[in-house]
Amino acid sequence: MATPIIMPRQGQSVESCILTEWKVNPGDEVAEGDVLAVIETDKASFDLESTASGTILELFWEADDDVPVLANVAVVGEEGEEVSEFRPADSSPAQPEAPSASAAAVASVDAQSSTPSAASVEISPHSTTSSGVSPRARKLASSRGLDAEIIIGSGPGGRVIERDVEAFLAGRPSLSASARVRALADGLEPPLRGSGLAGMALAGDMRVPGSIEGAETQPVKGIRKVIAERMMQSLQSTAQLTLHSSFELTMAQAYRKQRLADGKSKVSLNDLIAHAIIECLKVHPEMNAHFLGDRIAVFEKVHLGVAVDTPRGLLVPVIRDSSDMSIEGLSSEIKKLASSCREGTIPPDDLAGGSFTLTNLGMLGVETFTPVLNAPEIAILGVGGIVLKPKRSASDEVTYADYLPLSLTIDHQAIDGAPAARFLQSLVFHLETNPGQPFSQPNE
C-alpha cells in the first residue's frame, strides 16, 4: 500500500523547512530509515528519513522549495499504485532532469549542419505568436538564442520590431551551433566576446543571465536566503538607532584572574558581558521586550540570545531563563549551545524566543559596528575589540587602559534614546565596578 512521507515538525516554533537536496529519485528502492533528502529550518540542517519501505513513486517538491511541516513530500509503495490522493495542492513535483524536446531537436539539426537552420528557429520555445513581437523580430531573436520578449520595443504600441532586436544584439557575439542549443534549451546567454574564432561564443562560454564577467555567480538559497529575508524585514519594519559607549577592562580582567586563583571555572569576557546584560535588564525591564506593532510585550525573565558564527551562517541560540542562572551556569550553557550550533545539532526550538541578543565581533578585530535587531526584540548589544585609550585619574594624571567598545541598537518605535542610554550607562558602570556579581546601584 502506498505510504506518504511527511515533512516532520522540527520543533514547535518551526512552520516550514527548506528541502535543500533530494538523495533519491522516483523508482529507487528504499528501506525504512533510509535518508531521502536533506532539509533545513532557518538555522539548522537535518536528514529526512523514510518511514516506510518500497519504491519511490513520486517526489512532490523540488530542491530549494519551502515546504510546510506535516505536508507530504514523497510517497513510497509498489510500482503502479495511484498517488494522486497524496499530492499536496501547492507542490511542484520534482522530476529527473532530461533534455527538452526542443533541445533534442535543435541538437539533431545542428549535428547535421554547423550553420543555423530554419528548423532550429521553428522549434524555439519562444516561437509562439505574440502581439508584442513582430514575426521578423522573433525569427531574428530566435536565430541568435535570444528571448525577444525581454526587449523594449519601439514599434506601434511598444511592439518589438526587427531593428529593436538588431540594436539589442549590437556588440553581442555570434553563437556556435552548440552555444545556440544551450541558449534555447537552458536559457543561457553569451558574454560580450566569446572564445571562438572572431569572438564567436562557444558552448563553454554560455552563462546564466545576469552573470558578471570574471565572477562566479551563485544562487541565493537555503539558509542564506532566509537570513537575507529576515535582515531586510528587520530593517524595513523597525526604526533602528545605535548608541555607542565603552567600558574599562581593569576590573573585569582582575575578576577573571581572581576566579582562577580561587580554583573556580574560567569565564570569558563575553560571559561577563552576558551576565552583566542580564543583571542590568533586571533593573531596566523595558529593554527586555518585544515590539508587536500595536503592543509591547515585556518579559519577566531574560531569555538571552547569543550570536554564534558557524560554517553555515550566523545562528542565535537562546539561553532560556538566563536570569535564573549563576555566571558559572550561564558560561556553561553558552559554550554548550555554541558547540551545538557549530556541529549543526542545535534543536530549532533553541533558536527562537529570545528577548535580548548579544553579538560579539571583537575577536575578529572589529572595533565598533552597528548590529541589526533580531526583531521583534527591541534591543541588541554589539561588542567590539579591545582598544587602548587614555584616561584621566583623580589627580589629573593621564594614563592608559584597555577598553571594550559596546554598541546598543534599539527599536526607536518601542524605546526612546534616553532610557536606552541609561541602560547602557548601567551596563558600563556594572562592568567597571562589580563584574560577575549582582547589580548594585551607583549610589549604594
Query: Is pLDDT above 80 for 43?
Result: no
SS3 for 178-213 is HHHHHHHHHCCECCCCCCCHHHCECHHHCECCCCCC
Query: Which CATH number does the domain housing residue 242 bear?
Result: 3.30.559.10
Mean pLDDT, rounded, for 93-116: 41
Query: Which CATH number does the domain housing residue 13 bear?
Result: 2.40.50.100
Residues 194 and 230 grouped into a single domain: no
Output the pLDDT for position 356: 97
Whether the CB-CB separation of 202 and 196 falls below 8 Å is answered with yes
- d(CA 271, CA 277) in angstroms, rounded, equals 10
pLDDT tens, position by position, 280-326: 999 999 999 999 999 999 999 999 999 999 887 888 999 999 999 99
Average pLDDT taken over every residue of the chain: 83
Residue 332: closest CA among 227, 340, 287, 86: 340
Residue 93 lies in a domain: no
Residues 327 and 368 grouped into a single domain: yes
- d(CA 441, CA 286) in angstroms, rounded, equals 17
Mean pLDDT, rounded, for 155-160: 77
Q: What is the DSSP letter of 388?
A: E
pLDDT tier for residue 174 given thresholds of 50, 70 and 90: low
Domain of residue 74: give its range: 3-86
Q: Where are the alpha helices (DSSP H) in 284-416?
A: 327-343
Residues 240 and 152 grouped into a single domain: no
Count the domains in the chain.
3
pLDDT tier for residue 346 given thresholds of 50, 70 and 90: confident
Output the CA torsion 93→96→100→105 (10° steps). -150
Query: Is pLDDT above 90 for 221?
Result: no
Joined grid coordinates for residue 266: 574560567
pLDDT tens, position by position, 354-379: 999 999 999 898 999 999 999 999 99
Residues 254 and 328 grouped into a single domain: yes
Query: Is pLDDT above 70 for 345?
Result: yes
Residues 15 and 122 grouped into a single domain: no
- The count of other CB atoms within 10 Å of the CB of residue 253 is 15
